[in-house]
Amino acid sequence: MKIAQIAPPWLSIPPKNYGGAEVVIYNLIEEFVSQGHDVTLFASGDARTSAKLVSFFPKSLIERGVPWSAHLKAYYHLYKSLEHADEFDIVHTHLSSSSDLYIFPLTASLTTPHVTTLHSRFPFDRVNTWTGDADDLYMEWAPYVPMIAISESARAEVSHELNFVGVVPHGLMMEQFRPTGRKRGDFFVWLGRFVPDKGVHLAIEAAKRAQVPVVLAGTIDRYSQESVHYFQEIIKPLIDEKQIRYVGPVNMKEKISLLSRARGFLNPIEWEEPFGMVMIESMALGCPVISFARGAAPEIIVSGKTGFLVHDLDEMVACIPHIDEIDRDVTRMHVEEHFSAHVMAQEYIEIYKKLVNTWDNVPRPFTAEPVMSLPY
């Protein structure tokens, strides 16, 4: 198929550090190309991809220091990308942060079949701690924008009426996520972006109560007051560099090494996380996950087989001594079967085909009487 992937222009593809949507877009494209599809990626010029790359500026916006609330350049990227829509069989966009909400008006009556993956949670009309009500207004176009959720939980949690056409979980490049085979450590691990919702403080408490060491790794988002404050005020005082260690942000190689060696991953999330990429990364490396049974976790973990689903801190503490009963090969195999880039790409292609074949049936607004045409 001729596929357009329009990436949000904020982080590079793949991302330097954290960036869930950006990892997925990268994996999806690499898999599409290897399956023989003709893919064009619309992204900033610092993208690394096997697809054709079309860029409207050289650097991703965060690299250039653009504040998340400054929408003009992101809008330009989306608008200019969509000018090329008719060159493709399908146009795939990604709703991940505030400025992506323009996808609704700008794709609502594309004549080319299109679909949007919902990566984050509503509302999108946010600036720091302020929340507005523009999301409600933009739902006017929702019937005309086919959407894909990244988990059944994400789909169920959506507070607005979206036109969902499917659920496709994230997928990993299995050849990249291969256990190192190096000596197993005695430690548990937590890895991610430091925000209260991820429950890092609970992971620390669980490790303390179960008397096991825990290694923390990942990024403090210096553009997010919440992230900086959470790390400095709540997490940092708990780090003793003996039982509780923080090793900083990790690159891909370090992440694979760390997760391969860890006994288990602690995931006491305090929100309905729509997916949880780090859970499948961990499992792909044989590292079982003990997670609160919230968000997409019950769709990702088979409790007792690839880790444990627990309902509170007591249960997490109780499960920690049982972690070595989980077969690390079975854990990896579960990811291979359900959460590989290969599987993800196949599921997307199926939805693309269905959309292309039924496109005339997709309702489109105002088509009877267009009163104006825009320059693309």
The only residue of 18, 57, 271, 359 in contact with a copy of itself, by rule CB under 8 A: 57
Name the one range near a copy of itself by CB under 8 A: 25-33, 71-79, 272-280, 289-297: 71-79
The only residue of 15, 54, 79, 226 in contact with a copy of itself, by rule CB under 8 A: 79
Q: Which residues between 90 and 109 bind a copy of itself (CB under 8 A)? A: 98, 101-102, 105-106, 108-109
Indicate the residue among 132 and 321 with the shorter CB distance to a copy of itself: 132
Indicate the residue among 75 and 187 with the shorter CB distance to a copy of itself: 75
Instruction: Report if residue 4 touches a copy of itself, rule: CB under 8 A.
Output: no
Alpha-carbon distances, residue 333 vs 85, 207, 281, 285 (angstroms): 38, 27, 12, 10
- In the chain, which ranges are E strands? 2-6, 38-42, 52-54, 90-95, 114-118, 126-127, 130-131, 146-149, 163-167, 188-193, 214-219, 244-246, 264-267, 289-292, 307-310
Per the listing, tokens 């146009």 go with 91
Instruction: Report if residue 368 touches a copy of itself, rule: CB under 8 A.
Output: no
State the nearest-atom distance from the C-beta of 83 to a copy of itself, in Å.
7
Indicate the residue among 142 and 210 with the shorter CB distance to a copy of itself: 142
- Interface mask toward a copy of itself for 128-167; x: CB under 8 A: --x-xxxx-xx--x--x-----------------------
Three-state DSSP at 2 gives: strand
State the nearest-atom distance from the C-beta of 67 to a copy of itself, in Å.
5
Three-state DSSP at 137 gives: helix
The only residue of 43, 110, 300, 320 in contact with a copy of itself, by rule CB under 8 A: 110
Indicate the residue among 74 and 204 with the shorter CB distance to a copy of itself: 74
Q: Is the dihedral of CA 165, 341, 26, 273 positive or negative?
A: positive
Tell me the one-letter amino acid at 30: E
Q: Which residues between 267 and 286 bind a copy of itself (CB under 8 A)? A: none
CB 108 within 8 A of CB 82: no
- Burial status of residue 188 (CB atoms within 10 A of its CB: 0-12, 13-18, 19 or more): buried
Nearest to 88 by CA among 106, 111, 108: 111
DSSP for 316-359, written as a single string: HHHHGGGGGGS-HHHHHHHHHHHSBHHHHHHHHHHHHHHHHHHG
* Residues contacting a copy of itself: total by CB under 8 A: 54
Alpha-carbon distances, residue 151 vs 120, 158, 299, 301 (angstroms): 11, 11, 8, 13
State the nearest-atom distance from the C-beta of 76 to a copy of itself, in Å.
5
Name the one range near a copy of itself by CB under 8 A: 75-83, 155-163, 277-285, 324-332: 75-83
Q: 139: Cβ–Cβ under 8 A, 6 or more apart, which residues?
A: 104, 160, 161
State the nearest-atom distance from the C-beta of 22 to a copy of itself, in Å.
21
Binding site residues, a copy of itself, CB under 8 A: 56-57, 64-67, 69-73, 75-76, 79, 82-87, 98, 101-102, 105-106, 108-112, 124-127, 130, 132-135, 137-138, 141, 144, 364-367, 370-376
